[in-house]
């Protein structure tokens, strides 16, 4: 975008010249494109379960009497399953748009041990069903961190959920939290706690590792049919990077497993000034 501005002299009477400002609007254009892409993806993703629900209901309505009880049950189970998928999608889209709306989230002292405990409680049964062992290693006397409890629960749930989803029976999922040893030469930086979620699952190929944080991106593979919206990691990235000013990292090897990790600042009493803790 090029802006032409006439430059007037001090008394704003005589035109002294013309200023040319070249403004890079690439980012603006890119953001708009990303937004339309997102809307078109959301519509597409919503259409599939809706279409399935509608066609199964139509079949039940038109031919229900000709079907056996078992067949009818099967149809209803599919409709129910598709409705769940729709609900998950809508929830994830709403979560993401709320996170991106610019709303303020107040950060506070968070007990990560408690958040991890709470997350694992909801996944224990799922892991048992799948024959996956969950390993929990939270350092004793782990300090409190600066964070948003509910948002961090969501991060943990998405990462543990993925780890379980992409790991086969007999595999392991580990969640660790420990304080990093402070570097004396970087004493101005607050102490940090590291949280790691690792699995012995299918792994992520190097060429896919960057894209997995993109909305709706799902690695094309045989597990593609597994439940998921492709929004989980976008939500994780927004919460860790945007709301906690940190970064999500991963190391992964196909067929060996994946580890996601992020650091959070240790909560110090003197940082408990509301405006410092507000993002
Ligand atoms: P989804 O709802 O599909 O899990 P996510 O945004 O959470 O969406 O993840 C995007 C994609 O990244 C997944 O579909 C999968 O291909 C890949 N992925 C995420 N976590 C793992 C993991 N722990 N192991 C292997 N692949 C993973």
Tracing tokens 């041990």 back to the chain, one arrives at: 113
Report which of 9, 31, 7, 29 is spatially closest to residue 18, judged by C-alpha positions: 7
Query: Tokens in use for 82?
Result: 């598709």
What pLDDT is attached to residue 239? 97
Residue 134 CA, distance from chain mean position = 21
Residues with CB under 6 Å of ligand 1 are: 158, 162-163, 166, 199, 201-202, 204, 212, 217-219, 228-234, 258
Helix (H), strand (E) at residue 4:
strand 2-8
For this complex, say whether ipTM is above 0.90. Answer: yes
Which mutation among 208, 224, 232, 256 tests ligand 1's pocket best, with the greatest number of atoms within 8 A of CB? 232
Distance 76 CA to ligand 1 centre (A): 28
What pLDDT is attached to residue 201? 96
Atom from ligand 1 closest to the CA of residue 202: 25
Distance CA 54, CA 157 (A): 31
Distance 195 CA to ligand 1 centre (A): 18
Q: In which residue ranges of the chain is pLDDT below 50?
A: 222, 276
Q: What is the pLDDT of residues 50-78, one digit of tens each?
A: 998 999 999 999 998 999 999 999 999 99
Distance CA 159, CA 248 (A): 11
Q: How far is CA 106 from CA 7, 190, 213, 214, 222, in A?
A: 45, 19, 24, 26, 41
What pLDDT is attached to residue 119? 96
Tracing tokens 């919460």 back to the chain, one arrives at: 239
Distance CA 167, CA 128 (A): 13
Contact 250, 209 (CB under 8 A): yes
What pLDDT is attached to residue 97? 87
What pLDDT is attached to residue 8? 64
């Amino acid at each position: 975008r090029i802006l032409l501005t006439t430059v007037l002299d001090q008394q704003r009477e005589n035109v002294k010249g013309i200023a040319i400002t070249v403004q890079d609007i690439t980012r603006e254009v890119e953001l708009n494109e990303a937004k339309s892409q997102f809307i078109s993806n959301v519509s597409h993703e919503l259409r599939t379960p809706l279409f399935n629900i509608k066609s199964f209901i139509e079949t039940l309505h038109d031919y229900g009497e000709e079907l056996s009880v078992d067949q009818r049950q099967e149809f209803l189970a599919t409709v129910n399953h598709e409705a769940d998928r729709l609900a998950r999608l809508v929830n994830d889209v709403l979560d993401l748009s709320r996170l991106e709306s610019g709303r303020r989230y107040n950060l506070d002292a968070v007990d990560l041990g408690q958040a991890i405990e709470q997350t694992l409680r909801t996944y224990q049964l799922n892991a048992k069903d799948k024959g996956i062992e969950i390993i929990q290693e939270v350092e004793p006397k782990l300090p409190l961190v600066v964070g948003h409890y509910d948002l961090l629960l969501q991060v943990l749930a998405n990462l543990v959920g993925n780890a379980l989803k992409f790991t086969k029976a007999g595999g392991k999922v580990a969640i660790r939290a420990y304080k990093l040893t402070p570097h004396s030469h970087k004493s101005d930086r607050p102490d940090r706690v590291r949280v790691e979620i690792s699995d012995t699952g299918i792994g992520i190929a190097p060429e896919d590792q960057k894209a997995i944080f993109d909305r709706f991106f799902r690695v094309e593979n045989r597990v593609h049919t597994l439940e998921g919206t492709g929004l989980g990691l976008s939500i994780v990235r927004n919460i860790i990077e945007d709301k906690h000013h940190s970064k999500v990292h991963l190391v992964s090897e196909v067929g060996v497993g994946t580890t996601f990790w992020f650091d959070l600042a240790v909560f110090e009493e003197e940082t408990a000034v509301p405006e410092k803790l507000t993002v």
